Amino acid sequence: MIDAVASWADEYRSDHSETGPWHFVDIPLADSKIDMARECPNGDCIIAKTEHLLAVLRDPNVDKDAKGQALRFVIHFLGGMHEPLHDEDNGDKGGWARNVIFEGHLNTLHWLWDTGLLEHINHSPAALAAELTSRITPLEKAQWQKGSIEDWVIDGHRLAQTVAYGDLGSENPAPITPSYEQQATLAIELQLEKAGIRLAYLLNTNLMPGATGQKLDSKAQTAVSRGDPGEWWLPMELVYALD
């Protein structure tokens, strides 16, 4: 089951600290585009690593064990790039150093987006996946498969600008208002839907016999994509779209 390996990359990171930067990309919050030379030195970010790992999956000369590891990383990274706080840098360690008050309890902004709001939406990943699946139209599915990894990351970055930090205010800890929760919930649900569709597309494009995948070296090219889930950014029931 894919869900059984979705958190493997986090566990692997605990003993392989060099893989830590692969889980995110620090695009300054105020910026509107990615500077790969600055944000991804030596290819150590979620964009470059996902592209590299997709190439590993397509390479017929790579052995089974190496492909298995690449697949586990890709599954994780696919969800991660759809988590807006993995796509930005606001000087607070991706929200880990920014405190919030949610339902009367103190926690971090990153926790809120990785876990708190998701659990508030629905405690059952299977039920949530079924609900989200029922909403997706064929047109949305086709549209979400387009674009490059950079495009998808920038979409997440915009949500960090407009939603995650947009109405957060300057207080620390910041109180999470009903209005903020409503906007964030809509953004999270949409990102989960996109992540599920794109993971399925990725697996179909890169793992089927004879798959050639797509080169991902420019934003102009349609791409397959990727990611990770932090606590939840890929409840794997969302791989409903494989066909």
Q: Any idea what the CATH number is for the domain that residue 192 is in?
A: 1.10.575.10
Nearest to 92 by CA among 168, 188, 145: 168
Nearest to 161 by CA among 84, 51, 73, 213: 84
Nearest to 192 by CA among 151, 165, 231: 231
Pairing relation of β-strands 105-108 and 174-175? unpaired
pLDDT band at 3 (very low <50, low <70, confident <90, very high): low
Residue 41 inside a domain? The answer is: yes
Amino acid, res. 21: P
pLDDT band at 243 (very low <50, low <70, confident <90, very high): very low
State the residue range of the domain holding 164. Answer: 2-238
Amino acid, res. 2: I
Q: Where are the beta strands (DSSP E) in the chain?
A: 99-102, 105-108, 174-175
Residue 189 has pLDDT above 90, yes or no: yes
Residue 243 inside a domain? The answer is: no
Rounded mean pLDDT, 204-219: 55
Rounded mean pLDDT, 103-112: 96
* Residue 213, pLDDT score: 55
pTM for this prediction: 0.83
Total domains, the chain:
1
pLDDT tens profile 23-73: 999 999 999 999 999 999 999 999 999 999 999 999 989 998 999 999 999
pLDDT band at 12 (very low <50, low <70, confident <90, very high): confident
